[in-house]
Amino acid sequence: MLKPAERLARDGFTVDPTFRQQTADNQARFKDFPATAKLFLPGGEPPAVGSTFRNPDLARTYALLAEKGVGAIYKGELGRDIVDTVRKPPVDPKAQRVVRAGDLTAEDLRSYATKRQAPTRTDYRGLDVYGMAPSSSGGTSVAEALNILEKTDLSKLSDVDYLHRYIEASRIAFADRGRWVGDPAAEDVPTKGLTSQRFADSRACLIKDDAVLKSPVPPGDPNNPAGPGSCDTRGHAAPTTYEGENTTHLTVADKWGNVVAYTLTIEQTGGSGITVPGRGFLLNNELTDFSFAPADPAVHDPNLPGPGKRPRSSMSPTIVLDGHKPVLALGSPGGATIITTVLQTLLNHLDRGMPLVDAIAAPRASQRNAAQTELEPGLWNGPERAKLEALGHSFKQNPEIGAATGVQRLSGGRWLAAAETERRGGGSAMVVSPKR
Ligand code: GLU
């Protein structure tokens, strides 16, 4: 299974403008770590567009994994090199950068185990929407926003009214995400409550047709939702804390109908900037997904760091089923904007009737319980903005939000693959092994 990756690492791929730009964005950090500079900055510069990027060290790492299995990481020589690199970061002695040593031990790696968790699930217009459970905030936040919107027939609304509702539902879901979602091994995370229709109903009534909610919106209480007809605003409002950067999402299906939605991340493009010498891969900086300080000292922040605790993610790999049949799967990178990208793409497709590729390509808005909603240029320059501003919305520009991919099951067991048409120079959507 690792052979194709090993081959790709050894033979290389052609550098495109996105890869060059992402490397250039990291140049100042990369140059301070000789192993990283050697790999990513040939001749001291980001690789030229059109050149071939090869990573023979990574090819050897894949070969080692193929031979020895993942034990090479958790108990073996790769793990030893990771621990050594973390404990004594291989920084250029001439660099001005302060690089703090980490405290990772071989025992930490040995005792690590992935968690098998039930996904989040909610019913949306008769379909089952499955997402990633806490400590990701993706599944609960997408589900809550869908449930808030479910009582409105979004297919009948004008573009402006649709965007208004979508923005307000996102705002509310982020208020609840901030107050309630963290690592369930360390915090009481009310996953069931957050994804329940009863809780969403106690929040949906905050949305007005002709006015905009003031951020930060206070959170509700999913453990004890306000009764029917009364809107839940009992929490203490706090702004959304620092939100991480972003990387990659893949969605695949096979001929048997298995579907994988996979957000793979080292937190930001370039991770920590530290390459494990001789191994060809970067270490992540995923711990920056913790809140560095509580959003408000008066409010409990479930995402403060703690021993053995996992940081809150926003990854939202999403699979939609009709009964037991897959309908659609999708996801995106984008840090906290992942949640709004996945939500908006689902709504564009399921409610607004856009083909999946158009639902992905449509210009994005992202509201995360902040005073201003971010707009991509297509909406910033479009006719909707002035009408939304007249309602009370406030906007700022974001040149590009997310990089989604998705698959959709068609009749006769066929599949449609969709990816970005423009963002990041266009994504990749294809049949990998066509039927002969
Ligand atoms: N580490 C971030 C998260 O889990 C970013 C994910 C991404 O966009 O790559 O939310």
One domain, residues 92 and 239? no
Do the beta carbons of residue 318 and residue 261 sit within 8 Å? yes
Which residues partner with 320 through β-bridges?
129, 328
Query: 76: which residues sit within 8 A by CB, 6+ positions away?
Result: 68
One domain, residues 81 and 131? no
Q: Which residues line ligand 1 (CB under 6 A)?
A: 244, 246-247, 265, 267, 286, 289, 313-315, 333-335, 338
One domain, residues 361 and 244? yes
Query: Active-site residue among 247, 269, 345, 405?
Result: 247
Domain final position from 88, 111, 134: 111
Domain final position from 82, 111, 140: 111
Our answer to whether residue 247 is catalytic in this structure is: yes
Cα distances (Å, whole numbers) of residue 268 to 42, 244, 283: 21, 7, 11
DSSP 195-238: T-HHHHHHHHTT--TT--PPSSPPP--TTSPPPTT-----SPP-
Cα(315) to centroid(ligand 1), Å: 6
**138 CB-contact burial (10 Å; exposed 0-12 / middle 13-18 / buried 19+):** buried
What confidence category does residue 143 fall into, taking pLDDT thresholds of 50, 70 and 90?
very high
pLDDT digits over 373-423, tens only? 999 999 999 999 999 999 999 999 999 999 999 999 999 888 999 999 999
One domain, residues 417 and 394? yes
One domain, residues 77 and 184? no
Ligand 1 atom closest to Cα of residue 137: 10
One domain, residues 254 and 389? yes
pLDDT for 242 equals: 77
Cα(157) to centroid(ligand 1), Å: 32
One domain, residues 152 and 96? no
Domain final position from 56, 83, 111: 111
pLDDT digits over 277-310, tens only? 999 999 999 999 999 898 888 888 999 999 989 9
Give the residue numbers spanning the domain of 163: 117-265+313-436
Q: Which residue type sits at 285?
A: N
Do the beta carbons of residue 424 and residue 334 sit within 8 Å? no
Q: How many domains does the chain have?
A: 2
One domain, residues 133 and 64? no
pLDDT above 70 covers a percentage of the chain that reads 99
**Does the pLDDT value for residue 186 go beyond 80?**
yes
One domain, residues 334 and 365? yes
CATH at residue 427: 3.60.20.40
Give this prediction's pTM.
0.96
One domain, residues 107 and 121? no
